[in-house]
Amino acid sequence: MDLNGPALAPPDGVTPNFDNPPNNNALAIGVLSACAAVSTICLFIRAYGRIWLLRKVQIEEALTLCAYGCFWGALYAEIGLISTPGYFVHQWNIRLKDMILIQYYVFLFGVFYTIVLPLLKVTIMIGCCRLFAPRGHRSEGYFWWGCVIVIFVQITAGIGIVVSLNMQCIPHSAIWDITILATSKCFDLYKLQVASASIQLISDVAILLLPQQPIWSLKMTWRKRMGVSIIFSFGLLACISAVFRLETTITHGKAADAIWTLPPLAFWATAEMTCGFFIVALPCIPKILKETGLGVKMKRVFGMSTSGNTSKRAWESEGTGKSSDQSRLRGTTASNAYYKLDPLKPSESTEYLQNGANDDGIVRTTRITVTQDEDRKYMYP
């Protein structure tokens, strides 16, 4: 075994470039930086909305924090791949001995990725259950049981895949140490990787579709139901990432130049995790916009009307009477808000109820004040 030789035989006429192989590390830095920034912002949004505004610390917060820590574990492995071997580098431009560190980073990324997604998806499902399946009615309908199934699948699959990744080779160090690979026992990870990607894709589709029926059964206006539905429909982003992650997993598993096909797989897996953090933070955004006044400011910037946010609409229903008398009631202040309807004397007789017993005028006025907050939003309790 020539550890200083190329990790893959180069094509005919190609000379390996070990010292300065062409790469696209700039793209990797941009993608990883964007995903790290978005995930961190989403974590702070979640913390501000839940802990600061709602004063609630529940199991979802602990799961999200653990997911964020593991997310940075995955990023650590991806950042390590920038220097060795670099992104979009052909495998024949890498020395065989460098594959030890590369496979170690790939192993770390796979383990952390497998932990992050179940934590985030269990958090999302618990939040949906709190919102759409209140206590006492949780076993009614398919929504509750659908959430339970997704949670069960995520937990069991996550544990099983992490154990399998760590048991793929005996001894354990043979997972990345190619110098002892010949004397170790290992199994092929391709089927496990495809199964993992398929499970995550199916779970993403289930998370996208399950809340729709409870949302459209809510007793609220069509406009508000549409708004809530759109918020939960952002799960489509995770579905798209999962589809591409599955496609790149299949491509990577069948490729001879595995190092060249690794970056797209890593990028889509990172995007999938980032979408998870975004969906976890999404229900907190309307509450933050309302409490901080940013929602009203944004409407003003875009030229949208904000009069409906705090205005009170009043309707008056008057009895029979002349319009000239009605005008006397409008615009009154607290000091003159009472109007003498009729100089009637107390009487138990019904004679005053006869037609013509009184002059034309207002018999009774009723003022109804209705306050409507058009910007009311919904978030996880």
Beta bridge partners of 92: none
Burial 311-336 (b: 16+ CB within 10 A, else e): eeeeeeeeeebeeeeeeebeeeeeee
Distance separating alpha carbons of residues 373 and 311, to the nearest angstrom: 8
Q: Is residue 210 a part of any domain in this protein?
A: yes
pLDDT in tens, the chain (381 residues): 789 999 999 999 999 999 999 999 999 999 999 999 999 999 999 999 888 888 888 999 999 999 999 999 999 999 999 998 999 999 999 999 999 999 999 999 999 999 999 999 999 999 888 888 777 666 667 888 899 999 999 999 999 999 999 999 999 999 999 999 888 999 999 999 999 999 999 999 999 998 888 877 777 787 777 877 777 778 899 999 999 999 999 999 999 999 999 999 999 999 999 999 999 998 888 788 887 776 666 666 666 555 444 444 333 344 444 444 444 444 444 444 444 555 555 555 545 445 544 444 455 566 676 655 544 444 444
Burial 156-165 (b: 16+ CB within 10 A, else e): ebbeebbeeb
Predicted confidence (pLDDT) per residue in 134-185, tens digit: 776 666 678 888 999 999 999 999 999 999 999 999 999 999 999 998 889 9
Q: Is residue 151 a part of any domain in this protein?
A: yes
For 249, the token pair is 């997993």
CATH number of 157's domain: 1.20.1070
Q: Which domain holds residue 286?
A: 25-302
Q: Is residue 348 a part of any domain in this protein?
A: no
Report the number of distinct structural domains present in the chain. 1
| Dihedral angle sign, alpha carbons of residues 102, 105, 110, 113 | negative
Predicted confidence (pLDDT) per residue in 285-305, tens digit: 878 888 777 666 666 666 655
pLDDT at 12: 92
Q: Is residue 360 a part of any domain in this protein?
A: no
Q: Is residue 82 a part of any domain in this protein?
A: yes
Q: Is residue 91 a part of any domain in this protein?
A: yes
- State yes or no: cis peptide before 118, omega within 30 of 0: no
pTM of the model: 0.76
Q: Is residue 10 a part of any domain in this protein?
A: no
Q: Is residue 9 a part of any domain in this protein?
A: no
